[in-house]
Amino acid sequence: MTEDDGSPSKRPRPDPDATPRRTLPLRRGDSISLSSSGVSDANSESMHKRVRTARSGNSSPTKRGISAMRMDGLITHPSFDGSEPLPDALDDIVQDIKRDSGGFDIMTAADKIEFEKRASAGGNHVHLFQKALKPDPVDKSGVREALGRLPPVDALVEIWQKAERCQDNSHSEAGWNCAVHYPLMELALKYANVTTHATADVTANQEEILIDVINATTAQISPMYAPNTLAMQHKKRVDFCFMVEPIEKTKAATCLSDKSLLSPNDSVNHTDFVPLRACPISVSIETKLTGEEWQSAMAQQTVWLSAHWNCLDRLTGDSKVARDELCFLPAIIVQGHDWTFLAATRGEMIKGRNDRQTIIWNKIGFGSTTGLKGICQIIKVLQRLALWSQRTYWPWFRKYAMNNLEG
């Protein structure tokens, strides 16, 4: 496959801060027999890395880079639950996602009936369905239906089974992405109340854009948008993005294409990755293995989201009105089973520099593929972010970055 086909496969990356892809050599005398002990390739990579880091005592380029950004005032990493006040729009979605993460209002009454049928039918998965029903997960407000529907139960079970196999068999990050992460995001979008490739019909409803998820593993940050203190950090990447894709033969498609051609990096985004050149990025997703590489994932998201804001500021003429109206950029870190929400807001200009601070708010664990309930939570949050992409981000981008498509 080519890097532009949007498939979920992953490739080796030379960036030292990217996800490890090769076994790191040990010094003579430090060798450990891994293959003979039955340890998987993924665990072998992780073990070699830990041994080398512990031996050297040196901090990684990731830690040094983020430390430099903090020292320069380019970034801060406050907690959602800390002492700093959240902007109103961000606080609203944070409260919603916290409720989603508690398993509340994650299914309709009809969904509950189907789960109860499966629970009473016997078989190997009785407890799987029973656990998904406690506490009462039914939404009575109508919000769940407004966001979208749950996929068929069999599809949810398949995601759970694949996630269990990935964990039990120590699959690589690429294996998780192909088997679990990408299919789960596709499922969530397919049943969300947004326009997708499956539902787009220009002649019927005159929609101008749709929401899709794309593999962005090879999408590098354009150097002009990279944070200034990190000379090589434009090589930071994320794994997936939700994107706003213009429907063919619409005015939006023409204007976004023209805008990309007039941009210094031939793109409306902070990356010149070809499939994203005329498709605004709305949500950024970075993936790792279960329980691993949190700091590395945060570093990747920090640099990526800072560059994203730099690009948006350029597109909007550094408009405070535009910045305040958008308020935040949502992001996700996935570690194997576990899904976590982050958000990036913009701060003040840094004294003596032509740079603006980026604030990376973290974190809310909103679901896990270890059980059906967690999968339902993940789907609801993904659908919530898909609707935000279509109903908030695109109208904002259209208005401020595209001048309402020039009238």
**Helices 372-388 and 88-101: angle between axes, nearest 10 degrees:** 160
The answer to the question of residue 288 being in a domain is: yes
Cβ atoms 383, 188 nearer than 8 A: yes
Please determine, for residue 56, whether its predicted confidence score (pLDDT) is greater than 80.
no
- 75-76 and 356-368 strand pairing: parallel
The answer to the question of residue 38 being in a domain is: no
The answer to the question of residue 14 being in a domain is: no
Average of per-residue pLDDT across 134-150? 96
From residue 116, give the alpha-carbon distance in Å to each of 19, 124, 131, 270.
Answer: 41, 15, 11, 47
The residue range of the domain holding 380 is 64-406
The answer to the question of residue 1 being in a domain is: no
Interval 18-37: pLDDT, tens: 454 444 444 333 433 333 33
Q: How many CA atoms lie within 13 A of 320 on its CB side?
A: 3
Q: How far apart are CA 97 and CA 341, in angstroms?
A: 8
- With b for 16 or more beta-carbon neighbours within 10 A and e for fewer, the 73-86 pattern comes to bbbeeeebeeeeeb
Cβ atoms 183, 159 nearer than 8 A: yes
Q: How many CB atoms lie within 10 A of CB 350?
A: 14
Taking phi over 0 as left and psi of -120 to 50 as alpha, with beta for the rest, 123 belongs to: left
In 3D, which of 333, 323, 332, 392 has the Cα closest to residue 358? 323
Q: What is the pLDDT of residue 206?
A: 72
The answer to the question of residue 295 being in a domain is: yes
Report residue 111's pLDDT band, with 50, 70 and 90 as the boundaries: very high
Please determine, for residue 55, whether its predicted confidence score (pLDDT) is greater than 60.
no
Show Cβ contacts of residue 177 under 8 Å, excluding neighbours closer than 6 positions.
8, 9, 10, 215, 239, 240, 287
The answer to the question of residue 226 being in a domain is: yes
Q: What is the pLDDT of residue 265?
A: 97
Count of structural domains, the chain: 1
Interval 331-360: pLDDT, tens: 999 999 999 999 999 999 888 778 899 999
Average of per-residue pLDDT across 311-322? 97
Burial class (CB in 10 A: 0-12, 13-18, 19+), 393: buried
Q: What is the pLDDT of residue 199?
A: 86
Q: How far apart are CA 133 and CA 118, in angstroms?
A: 11
The answer to the question of residue 112 being in a domain is: yes
Q: How far apart are CA 380 and CA 367, in angstroms?
A: 10
- 329-335 and 338-349 strand pairing: antiparallel
Strand order in the sheet with 209-215: 75-76, 356-368, 338-349, 329-335, 281-288, 240-246, 209-215
| Residue 254 DSSP SS3 | helix
Give me the residue label for tokens 């998987």.
40
Average of per-residue pLDDT across 232-245? 84
Cα 228 to its chain centre, rounded Å, is 24
The answer to the question of residue 11 being in a domain is: no
Report residue 229's pLDDT band, with 50, 70 and 90 as the boundaries: low
Interval 7-21: pLDDT, tens: 444 444 445 444 544
Please determine, for residue 148, whether its predicted confidence score (pLDDT) is greater than 60.
yes
Whole-number mean pLDDT of the chain?
Answer: 86
pLDDT over 70 for what percent of the chain? 79
